[in-house]
Chains A and B, each alone.
Chain A
């Protein structure tokens, strides 16, 4: 295991409520990512971080914000959850970034249902 803990692992929430997913790593890797997995789309990058307080948008960032105040923690927030954000969310980490074939390591996922 890559030393990644996601919480909560399962959550059901109502439309319009805020939701925060937490990713905690024990590997001291510089890069952290949030992906979502949906049928027919595979994994899509939401946001990533390349250091404390340094973040950038991914392919599907609308409706999401992130924060990284410590090397080991990366938070994903849905300010006002919508049904289209029902998905499985994966945190990932990498020592050298995801470009040029560098491996990224995934957590076990957080299942979010917005009703």
Chain B
């Protein structure tokens, strides 16, 4: 029962352009959504999050958009840099529940 889905296993973009990573979820009880970034041989690190009461959250080059009616969120990276090349995991959590659910991840490659 995969409640969080990232349907694109990989994405390749040119340096300086926008990267858009997508995530869909099925559980309407999720009230918070997070993005984690993972480099090879390292653990995931927190990138940005958004509450379900908001539709946008921005942090520097990273913006997350939430469309609750479509149960869809996206992460925009502008401008993309080679150092952004990593696997990005979408995650979702709900109040008082420690079982945070993760998507399968999208491998982003930013070409110089």
Residues 30-61 (chain B) with a chain A CB within 8 angstroms: 31-34, 36, 41-46, 49, 51
Q: How large is the interface on B (under 10, 10 to 19, 20 to 34, 35 or more residues)?
A: 20 to 34
Q: Are A43 and B31 in contact (CB under 8 A)?
A: no
Any A CB within 8 A of the CB of B104: yes
Tell me the minimal C-beta distance from B8 to chain A in angstroms. Answer: 13
Q: Are B99 and A106 in contact (CB under 8 A)?
A: no
Any A CB within 8 A of the CB of B93: yes
Q: Are B104 and A40 in contact (CB under 8 A)?
A: yes
A90 to B103, CA, bound (A): 15
| A-B pairs, 9 with minimum CB distance | A101-B32, A106-B43, A42-B102, A43-B102, A98-B100, A42-B104, A98-B98, A103-B46, A99-B97
Q: Name 30 interchain pairs, CB-CB below 8 A, sorted by A.
A: A4-B43, A41-B104, A42-B4, A43-B89, A44-B102, A48-B98, A58-B98, A92-B43, A97-B98, A98-B98, A98-B100, A99-B32, A99-B94, A99-B95, A99-B97, A99-B98, A99-B100, A100-B32, A100-B93, A100-B95, A100-B96, A101-B32, A101-B34, A101-B51, A101-B93, A103-B34, A104-B46, A105-B46, A106-B44, A109-B42
Interface residues of B (CB under 8 A from A): 2, 4, 6, 31-34, 36, 41-46, 49, 51, 89, 91, 93-105
